[in-house]
Amino acid sequence: MLFRLLAIPNLNFYVGATLDKHTRFAIGGPARVLCDASTEAALIETLAAVKESGWNKTIIGGGTNLIVADEGFYGAVIRYTAKSIDIEGGAAGGGSNVIRVEAGAVLQDLVDATISAGLRGLETMTGIPGWVGGAIYGNAGAYGHSIDERIVSVRFFDGREVREISGKECEFRYRESIFKRNKDWIVLSATLRLDSGHPDDLKAAAGSILKIRNAKYPPEMRCAGSIFKNLFFDELPESARALIPKEIVREGKVPSAFFLEQAGAKGESRGAIRVADYHANLIYNEGGGSARELRELIAELKARVRERFGVELEEEVQVIP
């Protein structure tokens, strides 16, 4: 298997790479092999080699929303690292305000590039960690906006061929997409369309957002941001709806933090894994925490909310394996 990987152009691989270095929680044991493919051809050939070998495989991006088992993953962990960003249009005019971006681009790099080009629409996503492919996979967003609002089309590999579908066909919903429901589909690139704006105004808006985000989620904090999805008010049991203050319901959603705080989540801990004292939906690793402790704490908080309110919280994070 490893000799086969050596023959693939534009592929770098690392035997026994520890995955804690590739996740925001800084948790996770070793991979049998970590493969970074920087072209579509390299990715497809790597997938074929892994399939023929009979090894297990999993696809990851920037590791923002991942809990990797303490034992690691006995198989191939594959990342698509192509990261070009091509912009047409912007403040200078003369273009269509279209951006083509590869899945391995860092999301913040895309946000910064569009702001500098005078393109409005992604500035509210400043400070969100991770790669573009993962942002599309999970329909990332903040401050009332999600990336799906700007998606024209997405190219992906479905295990047999490269395909392209429209934004509508991606079936985006709150923190959901067709890619999340088809784990073997790998996002390769996307086309987005933004509006024109003034770079200075966009930088100011992004700067204000980043200040707020960094106060809540300090860049050095080992966390995945909010651990649970917010909930749709209309889908909650009547008994739970009756307890929710109207002023906290925004765009039809109720913060999970409301239920977690009522259930006494703030400050809870399992070993080195803690819930923030100031935000009940923020779990972080103080240093040296384990995946076992993290999953135990998540399960405990879900049980408390379920028992008290009859509400089932759903994690934003993904678990490997």
Please list the active-site residues.
175, 226, 316
Provide φ and ψ at 278, rounded to 5°: -110, -5
Q: Could you tell me if residue 287 is left (phi over 0), alpha (psi between -120 and 50 degrees) or otherwise beta?
A: left
Please name which of 91, 251, 61 lies closest in space to residue 174, comparing C-alpha atoms: 251
Cβ neighbours of residue 96 closer than 8 Å, sequence gap 6 or more: 88, 89, 193
Cβ neighbours of residue 53 closer than 8 Å, sequence gap 6 or more: 1, 4
Please name which of 26, 30, 31 lies closest in space to residue 289, comparing C-alpha atoms: 26
Cα–Cα distances (Å) from 183 to 76, 138, 266, 307, in that order, read: 15, 12, 33, 32
Please name which of 316, 315, 311 lies closest in space to residue 259, comparing C-alpha atoms: 311
